Amino acid sequence: MTFATRSPKCNTLHCKIRGSLSQQESIMVTVNDLMTVIPNSVPPHTPMRTVIGVMKTEGCRQLPVLDNGKLVGIITDRDVRLVMNSPVVLHGRWQDEELLDSVTAESCMTPNPITVTPNMPAYRAAEMLSIYKFGGLPVLENDTLVGIITVTDFLEYAAKMLAEDVVPGL
């Protein structure tokens, strides 16, 4: 894909899009352009205590679950909240603390999640996020996890476009 640029120093996707739009060229933003590359992930038998720690430390709301390098599921902050608000978890008893170490990602994850590919048009991924009310979609290339695309990725892209008053199609 060839992009027109407005200046020799403009090498970001945003500048390329802006330059292309000003010359009435048609471009397609792909999942690869917006995704988070090589996201954090956890193995299936990871205790919930560790899952929560990774989410807090890394500031992520979705964690792909990989078994021997293959995507087997995804665990989200919503999944964690459902487990934490369970009537049997975290009500001040010593048994509740033990549950954080015995309940695993595998027992809380969504197995076989819907995925996208890096070369998919970004608008298709956005439609999927909207239709299914997901916060993120794993990105696979040849059955290997290469990224994750999230609602936040789309919001950041929209904010950049709006800040520059770049409106595709107008």
CATH code, 92: 3.10.580.10
* Residue ranges for the chain with pLDDT beneath 70: 1-26, 85-96, 166-170
Evaluate whether residue 23 is within a structural domain: no
Residue 166 lies inside a defined structural domain of this protein: no
Domain-embedded: residue 57: yes
The tally of domains found in the chain comes to 1
Q: What are phi and psi for residue 62, nearest 5 degrees?
A: -135, 135
pLDDT at position 81: 83
Whether the CB-CB separation of 141 and 71 falls below 8 Å is answered with: no
Q: Are strands 62-67 and 36-37 parallel, antiparallel or unpaired?
A: unpaired
Bridge partners of 121, per DSSP, are 30
> Is 140 among the domain residues?
yes
Residue 3: the pLDDT is: 26
pLDDT at 97: 72
**Token code pair at residue 17:** 């899009």
Which pair of tokens denotes residue 91?
């009500």
What distance in Å separates the CA atoms of residue 138 and residue 147, rounded to the nearest whole number?
A: 6
Question: Full-prediction pTM beyond 0.95?
Answer: no
Q: Is residue 124 part of a domain?
A: yes
CA distance 11 to 46: 40
Write out the residue range of the structural domain in which residue 51 sits.
31-154
Within 13 A of 140's CA, how many CA atoms are on the CB side? Answer: 18
How far apart are alpha carbons 127 and 138 in whole angstroms?
15
Sheet holding 36-37, edge to edge: 36-37, 144-150, 136-141
Round to whole Å and give the CA distance between 105 and 109: 6
Alpha-carbon gap, residue 113 to 111, rounded angstroms: 6
Residue 78 belongs to some domain of the structure? yes
